[in-house]
Amino acid sequence: MSLRGSGLRRTAAVILTLTVTVSSALAQTAVRIDPAPAHTLSFFTHAYETRSVPPVNLANTSRLDSLIKAGNLYLSAQDVVALVLENNLDIEVQRYAPLLAREVLRRALGGGLLRSVGQGVASGPTSVSLAGVSINTNGSPPVTSAGVNSSVLTQLGPAIPTFDGSITAFTNFAHTTTPQSNTSFSGTQSLVFDTRTLVASYSQNSHFGTSATLSYTSQYQRVNSTFYSLNPFTTANVDLTVTQNLLNGFGRAVNDRNIRVQKNSLKVTDLQFKQQVITTVTAALNLYWDLVSFTQDLKARQDEVATAQQLFENNQKQVQIGTLAEIEVTRAQSQLYAAKQDQLISQTNLLQQETILKNVLSRKGVATSDLADVHIIPLDRMEIPAKDEFRPVDELVSQALMNRIEIETDKINLESNRVNLVGIKNSLRPTLQAFAEVTNNGLSGDATPFALAQGGVPVFAGGYGSALAQIFRRNYPNYSAGFSLNIPLRNRAAQADYVTSVIEMRQNELSLQKQSNQVRVDVQNAVIGIQQARARYDAAVQARLLSQQTFDGDKRKYELGASTAYQVVQDQRDLASAQSSEVQAMANYSHARIALDLALGTTLEVNHISLDEAMSGKIQAPPSTVPAAGPAAGQK
């Protein structure tokens, strides 16, 4: 009876733990699992009722609408980060990962096999045109929800018992007629039994490899023979059977391994969500700064067209008054068409970039007309600091090794491999079980005339309570105990499983070292990338200044009649190209800074992102103030 109480207390503790865990999850995440509706019998039936998962929410937060005014969507980098955390579908998908992992933990606490659930980290979108510095500094594959559990509903090592206790009830009503070859013993030619049988049992397995079954059996029989001392009569017994694994399947380390592995999986899913936030925010910021560069590039192309248009009109006037050859009009017109083509390409890039960015910031993408028709006005300008100051590379690498999610994930997976290895090693042992059984019996019934004629009322005469009293007084006990030993010959499968698992663990150890090496490469490349981006920016600035000086000089010469319109327009095209190169160099520098944050694992800190807010999908920071009159593109 004490074993039964222990099982009930353990089951109650598991339910309480899961209730607290899920309640904590519901407080932090926008997605949830609702309990079954309460009713009068909920205490008895809640374990057999389904819990509901609400449908997905495809409505954007109010932040997006607050940033739209007069057909324009005004965005700062801070707004982009907030909208991504609130509305991006890749992040919303990963919000389910902790809930999925907790449900698998619930399954493991009951002794079930582990399931591989969830989806891997989705890579973010890329810009329409991205030249220069690569933003992908992560040389490892994306973290997946199956990082710890690589198999689905399979198990190596000793079978893990079910930890949820079970109650079994059986009843049977039977009528049997048996012809008799010797009527001297039965007193009838056919022996007829009417039988009612009831069996109830409770079974519980422990984490140490112990299994126990407490059962009660009662059988009521009525027979047509006159040679029975009791008729009808009831036999009853209470039986307790305990079995303990002593070698194979012994100990908490073996039987709890799935629970410990799944607890590690909970850590992995948290890291996976963090990785998804970093990946998506990084991609969105790169999209935003490219949009800023495309906006500035379009303005440079518009200036180019305006200059070409002005010179074309001037040439037409001069041809009309006879001070300029007609061929100059043709040349100016050709340059005007070329400038308009450059402007069209730049405008196309900007519109496509807007579409990509809006799709990242909205749950329904550009499917809704209110978002499909708006234009994005960036409120930030790209600014390059006067100088870059870096700590020594070794310090940056040490910081990256502490922050990078891939390193922490690999360490957790290695720990899970070691936990599984304990169970796989245990399967090498023979199966040795100790068992003991105690049974208390009872018998009662109505005394028959045959019994009274034999010498009085039998000691078993009485009602059902008499049989129960005999059981609890232990008047008729049975005892048995023993050992069971099963020794597999050669044991090749268990040996192969153990060696295979050790080899896989060695491979994972090497992968961890490889990942650490890659972190150093990522950090060094990111630092080099910033240095390269600054050098390209400095060169682009000088090229733009020289182009500006050339254009200003030739324009003055043209006004004095010492140059041609063709040369002035060509200078304007060169200046626009130089301005475009400068803008692209600034975008490349922004990408390089974002890549360094990614390599160091500091993306969340740099962008002031709280994981609790990201998990809930509710950002406390207010949206940017939409200007009363639209600012110039790229101005703040």
What's the per-residue H, E or C state across 182-197? CHHHHCCCEEEEEEEE
Which of 8-17, 163-172, 469-478, 559-568 is predicted least confidently? 8-17
Measured on CA atoms in the order 553, 334, 584, 81, is the torsion positive or negative? positive
Rounded to 5°, the CA angle 282-284-289 comes to 95
Find the helix or strand (DSSP H, E) in which 352 lies.
helix 327-361
- Tell me how far apart the alpha carbons of residues 534 and 44 are, in angstroms, rounded to a whole number: 69
pLDDT at 276: 94
CB count in 10 Å sphere of residue 128: 17
Residues 6+ apart with CB under 8 A from 604: 274, 277, 278, 281, 611
Residue written as tokens 């045959």? Answer: 450
Q: Cα torsion at 219, 223, 229, 233 (round to 10°)?
A: 20
For residues 404 and 308, the model is more confident at 404
**For the chain, what is the largest distance between any 2 Cα atoms, rounded to a whole number of angstroms?**
153
DSSP 3-state assignment of 76? Answer: coil
Q: Are 468 and 216 in contact (CB under 8 A)?
A: no
pLDDT at 378: 93
Residues 6+ apart with CB under 8 A from 605: none
pLDDT of residue 150 exceeding 70: no
- Tell me how far apart the alpha carbons of residues 526 and 136 are, in angstroms, rounded to a whole number: 10
Cis peptide before 98 (omega within 30 of 0): no
pLDDT of residue 319 exceeding 80: yes
- Name the percent of the chain lying above pLDDT 70: 87
Listing from the earlier edge strand, what are the strands of the sheet with 166-179?
166-179, 190-205, 210-223, 230-245, 431-447, 476-486
- Tell me how far apart the alpha carbons of residues 498 and 423 are, in angstroms, rounded to a whole number: 9
pLDDT of residue 501 exceeding 80: yes
- Tell me how far apart the alpha carbons of residues 552 and 307 are, in angstroms, rounded to a whole number: 12
pLDDT of residue 139 exceeding 60: no
Sheet strands (E) in 558-608: none
**pTM more than 0.95:** no
pLDDT tens digit string along 18-30?
Answer: 444 444 443 444 6
Q: Are 422 and 253 in contact (CB under 8 A)?
A: yes
| Tokens describing residue 5 | 């109480």
Residues 6+ apart with CB under 8 A from 44: none
β-partners of residue 195 are: 174, 221
β-partners of residue 199 are: 170, 217
pLDDT of residue 12 exceeding 60: no
Please compute the mean of the pLDDT values over residues 498-506 and round it to a whole number.
Answer: 94
Residue written as tokens 């609790």? Answer: 612
- Tell me how far apart the alpha carbons of residues 47 and 49 are, in angstroms, rounded to a whole number: 6
For residues 159 and 200, the model is more confident at 200
pLDDT of residue 95 exceeding 50: yes
CB-based burial label for 626 (10 Å; 0-12, 13-18, 19+)? middle
Q: Are 405 and 601 in contact (CB under 8 A)?
A: yes
pLDDT at 26: 39
Looking at every residue in the chain, the average pLDDT score rounds to 85
The count of residues in the chain is 636
pLDDT at 153: 59
pLDDT tens digit string along 38-86?
Answer: 666 666 777 777 888 888 888 899 999 899 998 899 999 999 999 999 9
Could you tell me the pLDDT band of residue 572, with boundaries at 50, 70 and 90?
Answer: confident
Which of 41-50, 163-172, 429-438 is predicted least confidently? 41-50
pLDDT at 129: 61
- Tell me how far apart the alpha carbons of residues 203 and 163 are, in angstroms, rounded to a whole number: 10
Residue 44: C-alpha distances to residues 4, 8, 9, 28, 483 (Å): 18, 14, 16, 30, 38
pLDDT at 373: 85
Task: Give, to the nearest 10 degrees, the angle between helix 565-600 and helix 492-559.
Answer: 150
Which of 59-68, 318-327, 409-418 is predicted least confidently? 318-327
Could you tell me the pLDDT band of residue 35, with boundaries at 50, 70 and 90?
Answer: low
Q: Cα torsion at 502, 503, 506, 508 (round to 10°)?
A: -100
pLDDT at 84: 95
What type of residue sits at position 390? F
- Tell me how far apart the alpha carbons of residues 383 and 172 are, in angstroms, rounded to a whole number: 85
Q: Are 602 and 522 in contact (CB under 8 A)?
A: no
Please compute the mean of the pLDDT values over residues 563-589 and round it to a whole number.
Answer: 83
Could you tell me the pLDDT band of residue 369, with boundaries at 50, 70 and 90?
Answer: low
